[in-house]
Amino acid sequence: MLRTSFPFILSILFSLGMLAQNNAISKAEKLTYTASYNMSGILTDIAQVTMETNEVKTSKSTLLRLKCTAVTYSKWDNFFKIRDLYESYVNPNTLTPYLYNRDVNEGSYFKNMKYTFSNNTVKSVMKKKKDYIENKTLTIHTGTKDIVSTLYYMRLTDFKKISVGTQKTFTILFDNEEIKGSFTYLGKETITTAIGKKECYKLAIGTSEANVLQGKNNNLLWLTADENKIIVYGKFKIPVGTGELKIKSASGLKN
């Protein structure tokens, strides 16, 4: 159940173009969220999701590390313990990914995926348990990104230049497959959050994958209508139920 919901939270986030420059994301940003799931008709807080950035220097360049974690609250660990890590190392200006790492630890389930990007080629290494390793070389389309880098890249979009009702498409590499999706810009809406009342850009998310999202306009995101464009609220409906993502705190913002 939860294994489906957290990747969904990430996969609904997307890239919107190839020429945007990073004017929204700092090298020391930290966003904390509460993930809730509808259990027996009651929306229940089950996990904390944290998104943070930091600068990483290598022998050849300086990269921006984009890190996302999901951890169940302690009272739910006996029911279904989650300790998930998703991270991407990207160009700090364009957010083009170079390396991607995903560690999924949920109950007795473990999976690790690593991607190394080089133009339209990706070297993929997948591990399941201790005795299984799969190596593949994948060919991807121009603009395809991993989940985490698309999550941040969406914030480089200039929503002031698109009209209400505009639909955009995107592509994400997940589990060695390119997933097609789209969003529709629904306009601005002011909502109350834990970090104050925020005017937001409201987006409806869709995908061609029937086993991921359910219904029309049931999957929504609210991004602050300022230069940071951080996600402050999300609603989703997937085959196993519905849930929400609500911001708790934000620090180290660029603007």
Q: How far apart are CA 221 and CA 166, in angstroms?
A: 15
What sign results for the dihedral spanned by CA atoms 68, 138, 126, 78? Answer: positive
* Structural domain includes residue 130: no
* Structural domain includes residue 195: yes
Q: pLDDT at residue 201 above 70?
A: yes
Q: How many CA atoms lie within 13 A of 55 on its CB side?
A: 10
Domain of residue 195 covers 2-93+101-108+143-251
CATH number assigned to the domain comprising residue 37: 2.40.360
* Structural domain includes residue 60: yes
Q: pLDDT at residue 208 above 70?
A: no
Q: What is the mean pLDDT of the chain?
A: 87
* Structural domain includes residue 129: no
| pLDDT band with cut points at 50, 70 and 90 for residue 215 | very low
* Structural domain includes residue 239: yes
What per-residue confidence (pLDDT) applies to 169? 81
What per-residue confidence (pLDDT) applies to 254? 96
Nearest of 69, 66, 60 to residue 29 by alpha carbon: 66
Q: pLDDT at residue 153 above 60?
A: yes
* Structural domain includes residue 137: no
Percent of the chain with pLDDT over 90: 63
What per-residue confidence (pLDDT) applies to 13? 44
* Structural domain includes residue 114: no
* Structural domain includes residue 81: yes
Mean pLDDT of 168-172: 84
Count up the domains in the chain and report the number: 1
Q: How far apart are CA 87 and CA 221, in angstroms?
A: 21
Structure tokens at 112: 């690790």
- Candidate ranges 37-46, 64-73, 157-166; pick with highest mean pLDDT: 64-73
- Candidate ranges 125-139, 190-204, 206-220; pick with highest mean pLDDT: 190-204
